Chain A
Amino acid sequence: MLSATDSNTPIVVCQQLTRIFRDFWMRPRARAVDSLTFQIDKGEVFGLLGPNGSGKSTAIKMILGLLRPTSGRVAIFGKPPTDVATKRRIGYLPEESYLYQFLNARETLEYYAKLFEQDYRTRERRIDELLDMVGLQGAQFRPVREYSKGMQRRIGLAQALINDPEFLVLDEPTTGLDPIGTRQVKDLIIELGRRGKTILLSSHLLADVEDCVSRMIVLYGGQKREEGTCESLLERRERLLIESEPLDDDTIAEIDAVIRRRTGGDRQILSVTRPRQKLEELFLSIVEKARAQQISTSGATHGGETAAFLKSDQSSEIVSRLVAAADEPLQAVAPAPAPAPAAPKGPDVNVLEALTKPAPAPEKDKVAPPPAPPKDFDRSVVDSLLSGNTQNDQQGPKGTNH
């Protein structure tokens, strides 16, 4: 048996994992997961990608012990999924927020914190930080049943983080969230990943995965179709993107002429377009303006910075005070030409890094660094993988912005 404290121990090991659902007469009804083998190493942000019904959630439930595999083996921190002590190190956000509707947000977090036997002071501090982080401080005493789906998702995320988990399992974390919430969740995942946390991110929303994960597998029909880093799966070597200030037609024609001349007529500019602002960026800028005008809302607010206790395992109180002093909302995303989610933003993170011991860097030979995804890339590669239609790969890119 592998030691759970061994730094080389994979966090999750799945070997030939199979789950067959049977009907009342024990006849096989559905093979949800089929001979799935993969492992998640310490410090990885691991993506589980696939369309609806591809077996992502079933695999996660087997990892967490909510389902038993029909065959195969699964170990988490080197222990069986049913090991209760191991669960102290895990945070889990299901694909929907299954919450006690009669509790309010604060009581919900108190309940889950007590399951970890957290003392009063730690519990209260973490709850405050998490409520601030997910933007529910103002709605913390409202019953959860009155929450919108997005607000419930936020409190669901907060409960998954209440124990500062070493291993975080997020099943469709951005479902139901508005663009701001989605942005925050992505930022959070990236930051946690940079801090050395291991994250299993399951999603069928490609943008979620591509922005965050360091490595992924793609499932279809319960089987693994592809596995690799984002870089290796998404890079398109047959295309090149050049971005510049606006140019007149003559200049463009001149550049095209240069390209043709230097390649002997083999290469040329394929298309020239003006980059459009993404809808997400437009939305964020509108909300920013509304906030600046102090327009009130009964829903979730923009949320605060990442909870201090999630940022470092040490000196959390000092960090909390220091971060609280720098009361600059992390999510105050100014409209930017293009999102750069991979790069941690805001002065607080820098302060944090400077004043606390940095989290150990992931081993480079094992784990790819958190990605800085290309601002534009061709999603059709992943789309084709998900659809199982390999023909698309041959058809070249579509809708590439230049």
Chain B
Amino acid sequence: MWRDFYGKLDRVQQARGFKIAASIAIVLLAIGGFVAYWLANPAPAVDTAPIVQPAEVEAETPGLTPEEKAEYKSEVERYQRAVAQLMAGQTDKTSVAVGFAAAAGVVVGAIWLGLGLTLALFVLAAAAVVAPLAAFGSTRDWSRLLGGVALLGASFTVLMRLLSMTFSGSHPVLAIARNTLAEAVRLKLSLLFIVILLFALASVPGMLNAQTPLRYRVQSFLQYATGGSFWFIAVLIVLFSVSTVATEQRGKVIWQTMTKPVSSAQYILGKWLGIAGLAAVLLSVTGVGVFFFVEFLRAQPAHGEIGPFKTRDGDTLSEDRRFLETQILASRVVVENEPVDLATNDPAKFREAVAGYLKEIHDSNAAFDPTDPTNQNDVAKSLNDQLERSYRAVEPAPGWKTYTFKGLADARDKSILLTFRFKIDAGSNRPDVTLKITFAFDRIGLITWDCPLGQYQTITLPPNVIREDGTLSVGVINGAFYGNNLRLNAEPFSFPKSALAVSYSAGSYRLNFARVVFILWVKLAFLAMIGVFAGTFLSFPVASLVAFTVFIAAESTNFIQKALVVFDDMDNKGNVVMWKWVIVRIAESISGIFKLYGDLQPTARIVDGALLSWSQVAVGTTVLAGATGLIYILAVAIFRRRELAIYSGN
């Protein structure tokens, strides 16, 4: 009975007349909705009050000349104008109109995909469940969750239909791809994954603590929703890609496909295309969900605000808001300090240090051979690591260090404000302890900072602190000036790796988000090929193990790189420990192979508001596509030699 009903419904929604009539109705509704919004929301007066008072900065910059202060003030005003523009965008009617148009476009698209009535029924059913739940305080969270699931489910349905239509051509590759898509949504395992993903994503907003600063809520959401979704989809993709190929061979269904005019290359390409398409749909659904919820969060009051973008004391930008808009929902170029590399900077001195180190070890351990190249390399590496760690530490004596940041000419030329971001570690990072440290910048002079331990801090800097050659030098003093007296701290502190950086805005957050989602898809497509490759010649359990090993290895590359810095393959006497040596070599190989995969760090970038540039996207895509292509060729070569009537798993 249900089948008959849906059959009739489907015939109606597939009819051209229905599509035209429904499209016209939706367009009229969108126009009417926008007009109603226009009438209900008259344009507000633009608040031109200053956003940030530069007074506190001036108080910390006694070395500035009046001209420099004026220049800095103008830079701050430029920043204020940028923020004012940003705020004006919150009530911009054009963006609202674009929103209405986009929503109407999506609905009309769904209608022309033949899903108009299906979605209408879906929305009605969802509303029938959600509305009663929303009416009571105790079930309101459930209504939000189910509403979110319904929205994501509807998006998934529309996108799957769109992809299915894209693959509807009469060609073996497209037929196999479409069949793979159908398999993904009709088999219990993958469908369960998809449903859990939609529920998990919809439940993340409910886990955010409304009492925490808005910037942390946004960061947490981005972290859990984007990162979590990627991992969840990746697990599904790896499992499904292995399963669809391996079980098809085990179940012998492949016989009837491969006795048709289908080459091995077409079969594998079709399988991969279907899985990569599924990954694209799932990422699009989660990406769109994350994006719109972030926009929703953005429109919430930040700490210190009485309404979105409105502070009680008349300032239009609270600290929380400023951090959110400039640090997180941003697209910043991040420049870390130049690493110390004695081997390159001063080879003679480095060789001398290595020789001294080797002699020292040999003196304490006669069995140690200082002429062995392996020992020499290990010692050189170890020494360089020690130097690097020492370079990032500021001892009480002499009490200062200078760090250099290169490649900032663009920010200087375009007069873009800089954000100096740092974190210090000292002792056991007691939360109740702060250290007074002082930074020295060109043109500005000294800025003293009462610095908590283990927490990121930021200082906004004018672009004129950058030198002509695009470098920025920062002097860091382990103490503070009291009048003309420098008082040094008694204990050392250090900047953890990557915890000392300068950044500047280089594009929009929205575009950056799109690039991040694209790179995540490229990674998933790569993983899909790994899974298909493993499934061509291994049984499902073994192939899954192989594919997951590659996935975990690739994802943990950054961790491995960090761990290798502190993991030594020698004992206290300088002897190489064999098992440690083996681990180091394996770890180095893995981190070397997947270095670029790990360096892309799309989720970390979007959480930190760091730019993922087009060039990085291009390089990352090219390299991963190349790797995917190589694995594809290997998979075809193996599959061509397979005897499909013998299942290796038996």
The one of A90, A98, A112 that contacts B251, using a Cβ cutoff of 8 Å? A98
Contact A84 B256 (CB under 8 A): no
Interface check B252, CB cutoff 8 A: yes
> Which chain A residues lie closer than 8 Å to B640 at the CB level?
82
Contact B252 A103 (CB under 8 A): no
Which B residue's beta carbon lies closest to that of A90? B259
Interface check B263, CB cutoff 8 A: yes
Complex: A102 Cα to B171 Cα, angstroms: 21
Interface check A141, CB cutoff 8 A: yes
Say how far A268's CB is from chain B's closest CB, in angstroms. 55
Interface check A198, CB cutoff 8 A: no
Known contacts A84-B262, A102-B186: A94-B255 contact under CB 8 Å: yes
> Which chain B residues lie closer than 8 Å to A61 at the CB level?
645
Interface check A220, CB cutoff 8 A: no
Complex: A170 Cα to B260 Cα, angstroms: 15
Inter-chain residue pair count (beta carbon < 8 A): 86
Complex: A184 Cα to B171 Cα, angstroms: 32
The one of A58, A99, A102, A159 that contacts B183, using a Cβ cutoff of 8 Å? A102
Query: What's the tally of chain A residues with a CB closer than 8 Å to chain B?
Result: 38
Say how far A376's CB is from chain B's closest CB, in angstroms. 38
Query: What's the tally of chain B residues with a CB closer than 8 Å to chain A?
Result: 32
Known contacts A111-B175, A118-B170: A67-B645 contact under CB 8 Å: yes
Which B residue's beta carbon lies closest to that of A103? B182
Interface centre among B7, B256, B258 (most CB of A within 10 A): B256
Contact B182 A102 (CB under 8 A): yes
Complex: A339 Cα to B640 Cα, angstroms: 46
Contact with A along B151-170 (1 / 0, CB 8 A): 00000000000000000011
> Which chain A residues lie closer than 8 Å to B414 at the CB level?
none
Contact with B along A92-117 (1 / 0, CB 8 A): 10101011101100010001111111
Complex: A398 Cα to B287 Cα, angstroms: 77
Contact A114 B182 (CB under 8 A): no
The one of B171, B183, B255 that contacts A98, using a Cβ cutoff of 8 Å? B255
CB under 8 Å from chain B, chain A span 52-88: 58, 61, 64-68, 82, 84-85, 87-88
CB under 8 Å from chain A, chain B span 237-265: 251-253, 255-263
Interface check A266, CB cutoff 8 A: no
Interface check B118, CB cutoff 8 A: no
CB under 8 Å from chain A, chain B span 160-192: 169-172, 174-176, 178-179, 182-183, 186-187
Interface check B643, CB cutoff 8 A: yes
> Which chain A residues lie closer than 8 Å to B251 at the CB level?
98
> Which chain B residues lie closer than 8 Å to A64 at the CB level?
259
Interface check A123, CB cutoff 8 A: yes
Interface check A283, CB cutoff 8 A: no
Interface check B312, CB cutoff 8 A: no
Which B residue's beta carbon lies closest to that of A82? B640
Contact B179 A103 (CB under 8 A): yes
Query: Can you list 14 A-B pairs with a CB-CB distance of less than 8 A?
Result: A65-B258, A65-B259, A66-B259, A67-B643, A84-B263, A87-B260, A87-B262, A94-B255, A98-B252, A112-B260, A114-B174, A117-B171, A117-B261, A120-B170
A-B interface, 9 closest residue pairs, ranked by CB to CB distance from nearest = A114-B175, A102-B186, A66-B645, A115-B260, A98-B252, A61-B645, A92-B259, A87-B261, A98-B253
Given contact pairs A92-B259, A114-B171, A116-B260, a sample of 6 additional A-B residue pairs in the complex whose CB atoms are under 8 Å apart: A87-B261, A112-B260, A114-B169, A115-B262, A117-B170, A163-B260
